[in-house]
Structure 1
């Protein structure tokens, strides 16, 4: 699990000012990063995973943020919303046509913030997402960039089984890549992440 989510949130807040903005948050399900929204005017949270949205709803309720959010179960490209900023929350690498999604985002808001795995992230390699990250950042960098910054974080695991439960949904490549951790206890995996503002 990410060792210091609060630091990632603080880095995001230092990177972009969400104060009094209407945020269209793509891939928002789960709600790990909802604290960035405290200063926002409103957040329209879009995710195509119903279970993730249910988890987000629970997290919003526990953190007193339910009134700030509108939840939409949909693919991003099928939504008809407007905002000040579109935030891609660690999801652009999962989209088949990242450039198409960026172009669609430009019709919705003046600003686009991408928060995603860095191309040199050990974690992205283990999760079998390195090629996806390279592809999506390749598309992002074809656009005019206002600001770009990369940070380091760590994924922390008590043991191999905890890591296995996290990555098994990623497929056989991930399962093969974590074998070296079989005898390990209380270990960390470096996780590079990057923010971009278009």
Structure 2
């Protein structure tokens, strides 16, 4: 799979000024967007997935950013830290109650940054997350936002097997939805995403 991660990072860095900021990042997973750590003061990465944190640790070591990051294996709701910004990295839609997550984040920082799939994203449909994404953006749109920006990207796959390996963890609906790509090569799926600053 290939997405233009560098472009996504560039968009993120243009959207929010991470310079000398203390950042709490939620759902930082494998660490695809860690480049903001280069300009930040420090980053506290919270994830309840120990395997994802291990992948993040490996990526931090490779990038030389390990001294900037503190990794915490915990449920986000059980943390009570302070920072300049709490950033949800493509995970708000996975939270059972997005409003409660944002409200908790507001007790930790004056700025809340949400990065997530856009409601009409074809990719969100294929990975069976469109309803969760719509729900989380409805919550965001019900709150006072400082700015919101939509971006259009692409997910690129060499063949069906590659896309299957990516989406199989999402379950039967996702597997059924990608059936149209069987026997196809060079698969391109639009992936709209957005950032919101609250």
Shorter-chain-normalised TM-score: which range? over 0.9
Q: What is the aligned partner in structure 2 of residue 80 from structure 1?
A: 80
Q: TM-score, normalised on structure 1? A: 0.99
CA-to-aligned-CA distance 1:85-119 (integer Å, 9 cap, x gap): 00000000000000000000000000000000000
Across the aligned residues of Structure 1 and Structure 2, the Cα RMSD in angstroms comes to 0.6
Q: What is the aligned partner in structure 2 of residue 167 from structure 1?
A: 167
CA-to-aligned-CA distance 1:25-77 (integer Å, 9 cap, x gap): 00012000001111000000000000000000000000000000000001111
> How far 1:2 sits from its partner (Å)?
4.0
Contact 1:2 1:153 in 2 (8 A): no
Structure-2 separation of matches of 1:142 and 1:189? 29
CA-to-aligned-CA distance 1:125-149 (integer Å, 9 cap, x gap): 0000000000001111111010000
Contact 1:86 1:108 in 2 (8 A): yes
SS in 1 for 2:107: helix
Q: What is the aligned partner in structure 2 of residue 137 from structure 1?
A: 137
Q: TM-score, normalised on structure 2? A: 0.99
Q: What is the aligned partner in structure 2 of residue 109 from structure 1?
A: 109
CA-to-aligned-CA distance 1:142-187 (integer Å, 9 cap, x gap): 1101000000010010100010011011011100000000011011
Q: Give 5+ residue unaligned stretches, structure 2.
A: none
Question: Is the alpha carbon distance of 1:17 and 1:83 closer, same or farther for their aligned partners in structure 2, counting shifts above 3 Å?
Answer: same
Q: Give 5+ residue unaligned stretches, structure 1.
A: none
Off by >2 Å, runs of 4+ in structure 1 = none
Q: How many residues align?
A: 198
